[in-house]
Chain A
Amino acid sequence: DTGVSQDPRHKITKRGQNVTFRCDPISEHNRLYWYRQTLGQGPEFLTYFQNEAQLEKSRLLSDRFSAERPKGSFSTLEIQRTEQGDSAMYLCASSLSGGDTQYFGPGTRLTVL
């Protein structure tokens, strides 16, 4: 499978714990995006990378959220001190470059108890 992959697919955690999600984009894609989706809503943009550079992070929901793409390949999204309101599907997408079609991964569903 050469599509976007995400790990884990499901994560259940207790409030206050830190969680980290991984995204592996399509191999030749330079752009990598993170979105959050809550039930019944469309995906909401969080941040994106051009290679290893994080070009937009003002939409991250709070300073508890951070993302990295250290080598310009896979990316991680970390949420510190999780809250129940963080429960959602976290989606990763990649594109060849800006303005090109974004292809999504299967998502990581986070449940905060």
Chain B
Amino acid sequence: GESVGLHLPTLSVQEGDNSIINCAYSNSASDYFIWYKQESGKGPQFIIDIRSNMDKRQGQRVTVLLNKTVKHLSLQIAATQPGDSAVYFCAETPPSGNTPLVFGKGTRLSVIA
């Protein structure tokens, strides 16, 4: 079935270091992927997205990489800050035309000051 999963449930990084959060997806036909950040007690916050016709997209301090060959998605955060501490979810949109997002379980990022 369609599913999105994450390699690591928790990640701890030192402030100022770069963070890499990984995600595997199972539906090779999915054509749109989004990374969300969720802080405790809040709704998911859009970070960055990428469509399947791209393999890299950059935002402010964040980069998403898409490897369709191995169905792998990653989020890179440069110069990680304490405010980056949160749970990060990747989500995919199956190419069904009706677009509920399929989320994984999330990775908790803890930034050590």
Q: Which residues of A contact B (CB under 8 A)?
A: 4, 6, 31, 33, 35, 40-45, 48, 55-56, 59, 91, 93, 95, 98-99, 101-107, 109
CA distance A56 to B99 in the complex (A): 10
CA distance A45 to B99 in the complex (A): 10
User: Contact between A91 and B105 (Cβ–Cβ < 8 Å)?
Assistant: no
Q: Which 6 A-B pairs have the closest CB atoms?
A: A42-B103, A45-B100, A104-B43, A104-B44, A107-B43, A106-B43
* A-B residue pairs in contact (CB < 8 Å), sample of 24: A40-B106, A41-B105, A42-B89, A42-B103, A43-B44, A43-B89, A45-B100, A48-B100, A59-B100, A91-B43, A91-B44, A93-B43, A98-B97, A98-B98, A98-B99, A101-B46, A101-B49, A102-B34, A104-B44, A104-B46, A105-B43, A106-B43, A107-B42, A109-B41
Residues of A within 8 A of B97 (CB): 98
Distance of A21 from chain B, by nearest CB (Å): 13
Given contacts A42-B103, A43-B103, A101-B34, contact A55 B98 (CB under 8 A): yes
Residues of A within 8 A of B98 (CB): 48, 55-56, 98
User: Contact between B93 and A42 (Cβ–Cβ < 8 Å)?
Assistant: no
Residues of A within 8 A of B103 (CB): 42-44
Q: Which of A35, A42, A45, A91 meets B104, CB within 8 Å? A: A42
User: Contact between A40 and B101 (Cβ–Cβ < 8 Å)?
Assistant: no
Query: Closest residue to A98 on the B side, CB-wise?
Result: B99
Given contacts A48-B100, A55-B98, A99-B32, contact A42 B91 (CB under 8 A): yes
B58 at the interface (CB under 8 A from A): no
Distance of B103 from chain A, by nearest CB (Å): 3
Distance of A108 from chain B, by nearest CB (Å): 10
Query: Closest residue to A46 on the B side, CB-wise?
Result: B100
User: Contact between B42 and A102 (Cβ–Cβ < 8 Å)?
Assistant: no
Distance of B3 from chain A, by nearest CB (Å): 10
B45 at the interface (CB under 8 A from A): yes
Residues of A within 8 A of B89 (CB): 42-43
Q: Which of B32, B41, B100, B105 meets A40, CB within 8 Å? A: B105
Residues of A within 8 A of B91 (CB): 42
